[in-house]
Amino acid sequence: MANHFKLLISISLLALLIVLGWQWVNERLSAEPLTESDIREKVQTQYNGEITDVTSTEGHYLATIELEEGVYEVAVLKKDGLISDIKPIKKFQNNDSTSGSQSENIKTQPITEEKARAVALNEIEGEVDDIDFESEGDPAFYLIEIERPGGEEATVQIHALSGEIMSVTWDD
């Protein structure tokens, strides 16, 4: 009787391992990574510049794009096409004679998620509940949800390049 019990437990554990292994393999194989062509189209649509190079690395593509402000390296995740990082490679001199505080505040280097968080918390006091980077459309921006102690929740939209607050909306 003890041997039957051990056999039943062994078969049950084996079946469990097979099911878990199948789920793991299915999860790994279910989403095909984006192609270089997909990445070129996404970056071109988002930033409207000239893509000079796309390099494939293990988890993402690195696209080099030339904009009016300079040349940037854009890191795009292969699995879902989200832009994970933007770094300036070369900044062009701005010969524009425009002056004023608004043009001085516009930066050519994109802000980090931490900087966006700080800008949002400077505007609305509370605790950050969620941060999303939206790269669909122009311009790219961060959406930062802040929960206040009284239960109010605000969503602050911050321009990804300039760091300026684009909007603040309140949820009840």
Domains 36-91 and 113-171 equal at CATH topology level: yes
Residue 172 has a pLDDT of: 60
Mean pLDDT, the chain, whole residue set: 79
How far apart, in whole angstroms, are the C-alpha atoms of residue 169 and residue 155? 5
* CA 22 from centre of chain: 30
Q: Is pLDDT at 31 greater than 80 in this prediction?
A: no
The pTM (predicted TM-score) of the whole model is 0.40
How far apart, in whole angstroms, are the C-alpha atoms of residue 156 and residue 166? 8
- Domain 113-171, CATH class in plain words: alpha beta
CA angle 136, 158, 130 (to 5 degrees): 80
Residue 100 has a pLDDT of: 44
Q: Rounded mean pLDDT of 36-40?
A: 83
Residues 6+ apart with CB under 8 A from 78: 33, 34, 56, 59, 60, 61
Structure tokens at 140: 């790219």
> Each residue of 124-164: pLDDT tens digit?
889 999 999 887 767 788 999 999 888 889 999 998 888 88
| CATH number 3.40.50.460 given to 36-91 | no
Q: What is the DSSP letter of 50?
A: E
How far apart, in whole angstroms, are the C-alpha atoms of residue 146 and residue 51? 36
- Tell me the H-state helices in 31-140: 36-47, 101-105, 113-123
- CA atoms within 13 A of residue 62's CA, in its CB half-sphere: 10
Q: Is pLDDT at 99 greater than 50 in this prediction?
A: no
Q: Is pLDDT at 30 greater than 60 in this prediction?
A: no
Domain boundaries, the chain: 36-91, 113-171
Q: Answer with the residue of higher pLDDT: 90 or 123.
A: 123
